[in-house]
Amino acid sequence: MALPRHDDAAASRASLLTSLLTSLSAYPVVAVALVGWLLYRLMPRPSSSSQPRFPVWATLEIPLVSYVVSNKGGLAQRIYSALSRFGGSLFGISSTHQVLVNTSGVEKFMSQGLHSLTPEPMHNTLLIRVFGRPDSPRWDRMYYETARQLTIPVERMFLNDAAATATLERGAIAERAASFVTFSADPARTQPWEKSAGIRVVRPDTPGKPGAVEANLQSLTRDFGAHMAISLLYGRDFVTRYTTLLEDFWRFDNDMFPLLMIGIPDWAPFRTMREAKASRTRLIEELEAFYRRLGQHSRGEPVDFGADMSDAGDAVVGRQAVYDKYGWTMRERGHADMGVIWGQNGNTQPMLFWYLAYLYSTPGFVEELRRGEVASCMTLTDGSPREIAGLDMGVLSRDCPRMKAALFETYRLASDPTSIRYVARDAKLDDGARKHDMRQGMYVSVPHSVIQRDPDVFAEPDRFVPDRFLEVDEETGKTVARYGRLRPWGFGPGICKGRTFAEKEILALAATIIALWDINPVGGTWKVPAMMPGTGVKKPVEDIRVVISRRVF
């Protein structure tokens, strides 16, 4: 849900494996034995690569361990524990990779400096295996020389509170929310985010009689958020010129990313893979062309197509300077920025959908938020149709605890994060009565979703409880929203670098939509769809068909 979320993306939740486990739920021991045997067969032999790669079989081991541990004390867990190399709360049948579940000293261990535990080998593996970067010594050298320098501009734009707020204010969120739907059946007059939403005009929008449209909520909200976010990063010219941007991005994310993570090669002879690979190629080529135009603009040269590059985000301008310094080719920049554009949108935009789905489907909750919190952070125009005259991002982030608490609860239900680190130096791990020696060259993974659905930690874990994360601050007496044991961004030095921007973005988009739009399910009854594995955030098994109309005041 954030930028860049390579760390959490590593838990891209092996969709095929989880489906297998679900289908074999009547025979859990057989399932565990089968997948355990598969992991053993997939374990790598000695590699000639001089740089560590996150093993494919470890990607499968994460959801396997999550599955067996969630069935507490069952035979499947006992079998896997017996096969595990270290014992205690460490699960892993190879010393190369260990999954840490409910380990008492895990936060202290994972908070060690980057010189001891680092996410960089995992990030590099993602660039090669998922984002299409060539696997070569030159690329490895460039990555490790520049990785931290390339991250600094991203942190400045998306992690700093003031910078994230200023960036979002440039996004004209209030104006965009006014055209969330356009009530038009003419594709030439609709907004880019409406293209994939299956829009059907139910009632034209006329003076004195508000219009209504049917739409697919997930597709609409996902593309609405992505269009705004990408324009803030790469500029309006980029999202306007690249007409298939949203289609290509989500095809890559949905149809290719999970398969590549579990080891299926991008040349696999599947139609889905071929089409997704073509989408990935177009994304890389368009990012390459963007950096070429940005370079022309910065040097004062004529820009291809006369494109306006003046609103390119500070993050990409900063990355351009690093690319120039180290002599990266334009093609190489396109490959490297695949992780940036995915990290900005791959998790955040699906989370916006789940957030709105939970808010609107909870009886009376949207009206409570409108009266109690949304009204405090924005002003609306008079007349018809009403529009947003002002949005105070500071008030929204600071003084709307129920909005934030409901978002945290959405994280708990819909996010699927895992923190992954490479052990760069020998380290000790405190596991209660046990002490483990974690050797250089190992990978350790912490699947946070195991805690998120644990009834011993969160009562009624399958139910959306919007006020679950509210508490009273002892010093001020004010009601505040706090994460508690929730870790949707991971933890330690490798924590998600875009978490501040992502949280503010979701809150702002949701608040403006709530202020202006009524959303009701077609048929009159809300049914939040079941979830299936995604690439850090779960995906709905089906979209929600809704009727969207102007809010009645």
H-helix segments, 438-490: 449-452
State how far the Cα of 455 lies from the Cα of 437, in Å rounded to an integer: 31
**Contacting residues for 265 by C-beta, under 8 A, at least 6 apart:** none
Q: Is 469:482 a contact under the CB 8 Å cutoff?
A: yes
**Contacting residues for 249 by C-beta, under 8 A, at least 6 apart:** 226, 279, 283, 341, 342, 345
H-helix segments, 438-482: 449-452
Q: Is 390:378 a contact under the CB 8 Å cutoff?
A: yes
Residue type, 231: S
The DSSP H or E segment spanning 268 is none
End-to-end CA distance of the chain: 33
- Among 471, 470, 453, which Cα is nearest to 462's? 453
State how far the Cα of 143 lies from the Cα of 138, in Å rounded to an integer: 9
State how far the Cα of 123 lies from the Cα of 115, in Å rounded to an integer: 15
Measured N-to-C along each axis, helices 217-234 and 314-326 cross at an angle, to the nearest 10 degrees, of: 60
For residue 46, count CB atoms less than 10 angstroms from its CB and return exposed for 0-12, middle for 13-18, buried for 19 or more: exposed
State how far the Cα of 328 lies from the Cα of 134, in Å rounded to an integer: 13
To the question of whether residue 377 is assigned a binding role by annotation, the answer is no
State how far the Cα of 503 lies from the Cα of 280, in Å rounded to an integer: 27
The DSSP H or E segment spanning 547 is strand 545-550
Measured N-to-C along each axis, helices 330-345 and 245-255 cross at an angle, to the nearest 10 degrees, of: 80
Q: What residues does 545 pair with on adjacent strands?
A: 216
List strands edge to edge, sheet with 97-100: 90-94, 97-100, 443-447, 418-423, 117-118
State how far the Cα of 103 lies from the Cα of 423, in Å rounded to an integer: 17
- Residues flagged as binding site: 496
- Residues flagged as binding site for heme: 496
